[in-house]
């Protein structure tokens, strides 16, 4: 098994690399600002951000994965620092460093290729490995531990809500039946249980795809982190600063879309009321763009096909 702080030699191609960084507009005086890469991964976005920062600029990155932290610690640049924690903690983590506003934030919500390709991490149903699925292998309950103890109705709820799996009841029932016979401790065991239960699936998609996604999201509290992280990120943005968010499945993208819309769209009072224009509610953010990978990028990196980049800018007068 790979040591938790060893960085395996797995290749990762950063999705929407240029588009996400370009959207932050690191030019002129903005290049001297402070930026956050909330999901360091294997550092593709961070390295590009650093290449565009001025000498007095600053980049703070976050990641829960010890292997990502080990990669980040190889970057020898005084403008860069890494925090071993979720981006949901960014407001407190930066306040501890005396930082209360930043000039741009980038969140790449996808699981990295090294995590998927390393069988010892337990994320993939395509190869056998321990059923772990934790982004941070130093803390928390593994997928195997949860699958071994969760009530059937909780298994069903997680698989349905986080995997959008219509066979959630049947899969949960099959898991409970199998674990009564033997522990479910490997990815191959879980994938086989799902495959024997799900009799139909979208063309080209493995039957276990939705179940593995659901359990991974639950184990890592990904949606809770995203909800808290979006709120924290907005609170950190200086007026005129932008946030780039790349999501990879509909649950994440819906949350990002709705969060941005809640800040960009304000309910206006009845026009018949005697309210001055200056007193009307004002939007807090401006929607900038929505970008999907090009055909060329999808052809070169099929894992990018579901990615969606959304960008919004905080409104107000810069101080």
The pLDDT mean for the chain works out to 90
3-state secondary structure 9-28: CCCCCCCCHHHHHHCCCCCH
Nearest Cα to 106, choosing from 46, 58, 64? 46
pLDDT band at 1 (very low <50, low <70, confident <90, very high): very low
pLDDT of residue 117: 80
Task: Determine the average pLDDT of the residues in 70-87.
Answer: 97
Binding residues are 43-45, 63, 87, 108, 115
Q: Is the model's pLDDT at 12 over the cut of 80? A: no
Tokens of 2: 């790979």
Q: What is the pLDDT of residue 116?
A: 82
pLDDT score of 163 more than 50: yes
Q: Which segments of the chain belong to CATH 3.40.50.150?
A: 17-113+222-314
The mean per-residue pLDDT over the stretch 295-306 comes to 90
Q: Give, in words, the CATH class of 141-219.
A: mainly alpha
Q: What is the mean pLDDT of residues 15-23?
A: 96
Model pLDDT, residue 114? 77
- Reply yes or no on whether the pLDDT at 4 is more than 50: no
Percentage above 70 pLDDT, the chain? 90
> In this predicted model, which residue has the larger pLDDT, 10 or 193?
193
| Mean pLDDT, range 134-156, rounded to an integer | 97
Superfamily of domain 17-113+222-314: Vaccinia Virus protein VP39 (3.40.50.150)
pLDDT of residue 278: 53
Give the whole-angstrom CA distance, residue 30 versus residue 107. Answer: 19
pLDDT of residue 5: 36
pLDDT at 9: 42
Q: 7 vs 56, which has greater pLDDT?
A: 56
Give the residue ranges of the annotated binding site for S-adenosyl-L-methionine: 43-45, 63, 87, 108, 115
pLDDT exceeding 90 applies to what percent of the chain?
78
- Whether residue 315 is predicted with pLDDT greater than 80 in this model: the reply is yes
284, 300 in Cβ contact below 8 A?
Answer: no
Q: Is the C-alpha dihedral spanning 43, 49, 52, 57 positive or negative?
A: negative
* Euclidean distance between CA atoms 192 and 125, whole angstroms: 9
Three-state SS letters, the chain: CCCCCCCCCCCCCCCCHHHHHHCCCCCHHHHHCEEEECCCCCCHHHHHHHHHCCCCCEEEEEECCHHHHHHHCCCCCCCEEEEEECHHHHHHHHHCCCCCCEEEEEEECCCCHHHHHCHHHCCCCCCCCECCCCCCCCCCCCHHHHHHHCCHHHHHHHHHHHHCCCCHHHHHHHHHHHHCCCCCCEHHHHHHHHHHHCCCCCCCCCCCHHHHHHHHHHHCCHHHHHHHHHHHHHHHEEEEEEEEEEECCHHHHHHHHHHHHHHHCCCCCCCCCCCCHHHCCCCCEEEEEEECCCHHHHHHCHHHCCCEEEEEEECCCCC
For position 272, what pLDDT does the model report?
60
Does the structure show a pLDDT above 60 at 15? Answer: yes
Domain with CATH 1.10.150.170 in the chain: 141-219
């Amino acid at each position: 098994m790979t040591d938790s702080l060893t960085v395996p030699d797995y290749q990762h191609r950063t999705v929407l690399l240029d588009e996400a960084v370009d959207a932050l507009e690191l030019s002129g005086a903005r290049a001297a600002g402070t930026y956050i890469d909330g999901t360091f991964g294997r550092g593709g976005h961070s390295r590009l951000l650093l290449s565009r920062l001025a000498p007095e600029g600053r980049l703070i990155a976050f990641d829960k994965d010890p292997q990502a932290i080990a990669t980040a610690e190889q970057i020898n640049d005084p403008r860069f620092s890494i925090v071993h924690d979720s981006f949901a903690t960014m407001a407190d983590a930066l306040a501890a460093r005396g930082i209360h506003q930043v000039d741009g934030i980038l969140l790449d919500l996808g699981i990295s290729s090294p995590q998927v390709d390393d069988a010892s991490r337990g994320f993939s149903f395509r190869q056998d490995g321990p059923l772990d699925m934790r982004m941070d292998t130093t803390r928390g309950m593994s997928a195997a531990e949860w699958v071994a103890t969760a009530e059937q109705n909780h298994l069903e709820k997680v698989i349905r809500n986080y995997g959008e799996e219509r066979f959630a009841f049947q899969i949960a029932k099959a898991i409970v039946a199998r674990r009564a016979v033997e522990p479910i401790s490997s990815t191959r065991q879980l994938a086989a249980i799902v495959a024997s239960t799900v009799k139909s699936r979208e063309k080209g998609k493995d039957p276990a795809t939705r179940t593995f996604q659901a359990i991974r999201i639950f184990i890592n509290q990904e949606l809770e982190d995203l909800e808290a992280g979006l709120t924290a990120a907005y609170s950190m943005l200086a007026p005129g600063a932008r946030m780039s968010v790349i999501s990879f499945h509909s649950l994440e993208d819906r949350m990002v879309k709705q969060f941005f819309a809640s800040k960009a769209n304000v309910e206006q009072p009845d026009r018949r009321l005697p309210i001055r224009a200056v007193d009307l509610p004002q939007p807090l953010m401006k929607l900038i763009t929505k970008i999907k990978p090009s055909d060329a990028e999808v052809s070169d990196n099929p894992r990018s096909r579901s990615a969606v980049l959304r960008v919004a800018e905080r409104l107000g007068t810069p101080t």
